[in-house]
Amino acid sequence: MFDKLTLKVRDVMRFVAGKSRINEKNIEDAVDAIKIALLEADVNVRVVRRFVNSTVEEAKGEKVMRAVDPGQQFIKIVHDRIKAYLGGEDQGLVLKSTDRVSVILMLGLQGSGKTTSSAKLALRLKKEGRKPLLAACDLVRPAAAEQISVLAAQIGVPVYRGGEGEKDPVKILNAALSHAKKNLIDTVIVDTTGRLQIDDTMMEELSRIKAAAKPDELLLVADAMTGQSAVDIAKTFDEKIGLSGVILTKFDSDTRGGAALSLKTVTGKPLKFVGTGEKPEDLELFHPERFASRILGMGDVVSLVEKARQAMDQEEALAIQRKILKNDLTLEDMLSQLRAVKKMGSVQSMLEMIPGMAGQVSDDDIEKANFRKQEVILCSMTLKERANHLIIGPSRRARIARGSGTSVAEVARLLKQFEKMRTMMKKMTKMGRAAGGAAAMRNVMSGGFPPDMARGRR
Ligand SMILES: Nc1nc2c(ncn2[C@@H]2O[C@H](COP(=O)(O)OP(=O)(O)O)[C@@H](O)[C@H]2O)c(=O)[nH]1
Ligand SMILES: [Mg+2]
């Protein structure tokens, strides 16, 4: 996600942060480089133009030129602007209280990921303690009802299907709604028919479904990989049907991120969720703040800790969080994190969240990093060694290498990497502590950039 953009923008940021003085020329050069990066990321041209004009204007203002640290000020401006283009604040679902039935209508073209996303949302709501029902209102594709039933069984959510030969989605919808009322269901997620292209028949059918459903949320499901066309589709659906938000799917495969960056400005509709894989768990609430930090290469400790929390049990995650803050992370923690990473699935997405790693890792690097090997090395250490890495001298290193079937160099590399991780955490902590703990860490990420992080030093 945003891989190339992140790399480019980081270069610019590093260049600017290194300047003790900023003049109009510096600013223009920097903004120009960002402009090219944005265009290459397939961001809408008009959006780029607006971004450039407003950033230059603000950056040339008194505040930046006269600031004690103008580089930091400039970076903050870019960060806040990217955050605003990504939609500003987090936008979750707006549903009724659980004593009534809320309806979520899923719209979009065929293959965009509607059915998958319906199941993902259902699972998410179930985890939040709601009682969702999936309504299979895609009657055009023969296998559609079957597909949603399989997914529903997988996540343990009920599904409502019409009878054999039923041709009218509105009938099924109405039946599903009364079924929901009788069965203490509080949220009905309606999967609809998509076509390969927007056409009048589809829009008419959706209008009828909308009128019957009186939805609380009208979500467009669009494929992020289609870039600007996802934004155009959102615009059309909003004009014809009306949307409350967008889910961008296949975010895991979209390296450019142009759709996410253009959507809010072009359509005025918020990006609420992103699909990050094919499994029912692979749906994330979209956090503009965190993505802005990620694009600037600041990593994203908040997401990291939260994601780890899902994979580890709560206790363990809290303990690690506490350790990060106290800076007494051990090799033992590294081992449990490695194992958590394996549980989490995508190593790439995990690494992207680590400060300084964003845009630095390719799949190739991940191969080289060889997580399994690291796990074996860590397992060949004694508990005492894992509790205190400082006792691991040359002879212990040799023993660990022998025991794990690796080389002394590989053991050394792991230890070095661990040191690096600790140093990085220490930097994060310093700024966190100075401003008062973990909550402040979040603030720091949104505003006051610590100088060495913004410079991208590791
Ligand atoms: N990698 C990836 N694949 C996805 C995602 N969402 C959906 N898919 C895949 O896209 C294909 C089409 O999804 P489907 O839900 O059937 O689309 P629909 O026609 O709109 O209902 C399926 O193969 C899904 O597994 C996602 O977020 N990431
Ligand atoms: Mg479908």
For residue 285, the SS3 value is: strand
Highest mean pLDDT among 80-89, 121-130, 162-171 belongs to 121-130
Give per-residue pLDDT as tens, 308-317: 556 555 566 6
pLDDT higher than 90, residue 19: no
pLDDT higher than 80, residue 123: yes
Sign of CA dihedral 170, 175, 179, 182: positive
Give per-residue pLDDT as tens, 409-440: 999 999 998 888 788 777 766 654 444 434 33
Measured in Å, residue 148 CA sits from the centre of ligand 2 at: 8
Measured in Å, residue 140 CA sits from the centre of ligand 1 at: 17
Of the ranges 2-16, 44-58, 310-324, 375-389, which one carries the lowest mean pLDDT score?
Answer: 310-324
pLDDT of residue 452: 33
Ligand 1 atom closest to the CA of 282, numbered from 1:
27
pLDDT of residue 214: 97
The β-bridge partners of 137 are 192
Please give the residue that has the higher pLDDT: either 247 or 364.
247
Residues of the chain with pLDDT > 90, as a percent, come to 44
pLDDT higher than 50, residue 449: no
Give per-residue pLDDT as tens, 23-77: 888 888 888 988 988 888 888 899 999 999 998 888 887 666 666 667 777 777 8
Of the ranges 53-67, 143-157, 245-259, which one carries the lowest mean pLDDT score?
Answer: 53-67
Residue 280: CB within 6 Å of ligand 1?
no
Ligand 1 atom closest to the CA of 141, numbered from 1:
19
Measured in Å, residue 230 CA sits from the centre of ligand 2 at: 17
Q: Which domains does the chain have, with CATH numbers?
A: 3-85 (1.20.120.140), 102-286 (3.40.50.300), 298-454 (1.10.260.30)
pLDDT of residue 293: 81
Return d(Cα 43, Cα 246) in angstroms, integer: 17
For residue 124, the SS3 value is: helix
The number of C-alpha atoms within 13 Å of 180 and in the hemisphere containing its C-beta is: 29
What amino acid occupies position 168?
D
Return d(Cα 130, Cα 101) in angstroms, integer: 11
Return d(Cα 269, Cα 220) in angstroms, integer: 10
For residue 132, the SS3 value is: strand
Measured in Å, residue 278 CA sits from the centre of ligand 1 at: 6
Best probe residue, ligand 1, of 114, 249, 348 (max atoms within 8 Å of C-beta): 249
The number of C-alpha atoms within 13 Å of 274 and in the hemisphere containing its C-beta is: 22
Percentages helix, strand, coil for the chain (3-state, rounded to 5) are: 60, 10, 30
Measured in Å, residue 291 CA sits from the centre of ligand 2 at: 29
| Number of the ligand closest to the Cα of 140 | 2
Return d(Cα 177, Cα 156) in angstroms, integer: 19
pLDDT higher than 50, residue 91: yes
Measured in Å, residue 310 CA sits from the centre of ligand 2 at: 28
For residue 245, the SS3 value is: strand
> Residue 196 corresponds to which tokens in the numbers above?
């390969």
pLDDT of residue 154: 96
Return d(Cα 410, Cα 372) in angstroms, integer: 13
Mean pLDDT rounded to a whole number for the chain? 81
CA neighbor of 180 nearest in space, from 114, 125, 142: 125
The number of C-alpha atoms within 13 Å of 167 and in the hemisphere containing its C-beta is: 0
| Number of the ligand closest to the Cα of 109 | 1
The number of C-alpha atoms within 13 Å of 162 and in the hemisphere containing its C-beta is: 21
Residue 146: CB within 6 Å of ligand 1?
no
Cβ-proximal residues to 426 (8 Å cutoff; 6+ apart), any chain: 327
Measured in Å, residue 110 CA sits from the centre of ligand 2 at: 7
Best probe residue, ligand 1, of 278, 279, 282, 283 (max atoms within 8 Å of C-beta): 278
Measured in Å, residue 118 CA sits from the centre of ligand 2 at: 9
Residue 275: CB within 6 Å of ligand 1?
yes
The bridge status of strand 271-275 relative to strand 283-285 is antiparallel
Q: Are 259 and 248 in contact (CB under 8 A)?
A: yes
Residue 111: CB within 6 Å of ligand 1?
yes
Residues of the chain with pLDDT > 70, as a percent, come to 77
pLDDT higher than 70, residue 128: yes
Best probe residue, ligand 1, of 1, 109, 116 (max atoms within 8 Å of C-beta): 116
What amino acid occupies position 251?
F
CB atoms within 10 A of CB 20: 8
Return d(Cα 271, Cα 87) in angstroms, integer: 7
